């Protein structure tokens, strides 16, 4: 059983790949001054980067877990998500309201994707 890790530090890896499946750690915004939609767009752009680094893309998403700090801003998150997700290929998804590690963060997203067949 082979597992490869990318962008690792002592605590965690941003990416793990096993059996043609790519697992991403939860991604958070880099500019917390943005609104919910802006923060979500930042997170989705980072997800795009990490998936590409691992050899896949959002076209191969299997699942997504989304944490938002306020369901009152859920529509803003969904607006960014809907503009990003590949039409006809939405992953299974769960979204919940939660307190995140930093109070200025409004959203965190974690995804799993398949590697495309060679």
Average pLDDT over residues 22-46: 98
Q: What is the pLDDT of residue 118?
A: 58
pLDDT at 57 over 70: yes
Average pLDDT over residues 26-48: 98
From CA 51, how far away is CA 28, in angstroms rounded?
15
What confidence tier does 117 reach under pLDDT thresholds 50, 70, 90? confident
Q: What is the pLDDT of residue 59?
A: 97
Cβ neighbours of 86 (radius 10 Å): 12
């Amino acid at each position: 059983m082979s597992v490869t890790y990318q962008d690792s530090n002592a605590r965690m890896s941003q990416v793990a790949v096993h059996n043609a499946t790519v697992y991403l750690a939860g991604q958070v915004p880099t500019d917390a001054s943005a609104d919910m939609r802006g923060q979500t767009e930042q997170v989705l752009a980072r997800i795009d980067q990490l998936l590409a680094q691992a050899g896949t893309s959002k076209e191969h998403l299997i699942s997504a877990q989304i944490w938002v700090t306020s369901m009152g801003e859920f529509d803003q998150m969904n607006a960014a998500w809907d503009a990003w997700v590949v039409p006809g290929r939405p992953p299974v998804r769960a979204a919940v309201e939660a307190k995140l590690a930093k109070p200025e963060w409004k959203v965190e997203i974690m995804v799993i994707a398949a590697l495309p067949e060679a």
